[in-house]
Copies of this chain bind each other. A is one copy, B any other.
């Protein structure tokens, strides 16, 4: 494992969700994973009009990308999350509260930047997550 430290200094406000303020990483190898949307391995949409189901698929895709390189969620150094509807923020928060403790059993949630934008590549997509990881 690379040396990944996930940190929340006292001089910054406590994170308001399942993320942290800083990753400090010493590594010589990185993964850049294209933003993932809710399509399965056959290219079909998963979770039409259902942001929770889309979250499940998006993070399953990220996990598949990580696993394909012998890595896992513990290798993630940064997420950037794009939502299309601000009404979905509470559902995204709830998804993370439910699932992240299992995905990140050490309780070290990577930094995340949460942004509301106009649209993703297709109207059917409600969430996209971009990931950087270290190997």
Residues of A within 8 A of B (CB): 7, 9-16, 19-36, 39-43, 61, 64-65, 67-69, 77-78, 80, 82, 86, 89, 110-121, 128, 130, 132, 135
Partner pick for A65 among B21, B31, B42, B64, CB 8 A cutoff: B21
Q: How far is the CA of A78 from the CA of B110 in the complex (A)?
A: 18
Partner pick for A10 among B41, B121, B130, CB 8 A cutoff: B41
Identical copies in the complex: 3
Partner pick for A117 among B22, B35, B116, CB 8 A cutoff: B116
Partner pick for A12 among B64, B117, B119, CB 8 A cutoff: B64
Residue of B nearest to A20 (CB): B34
Once the chains bind, are B11 and A114 in contact (CB under 8 Å)? no
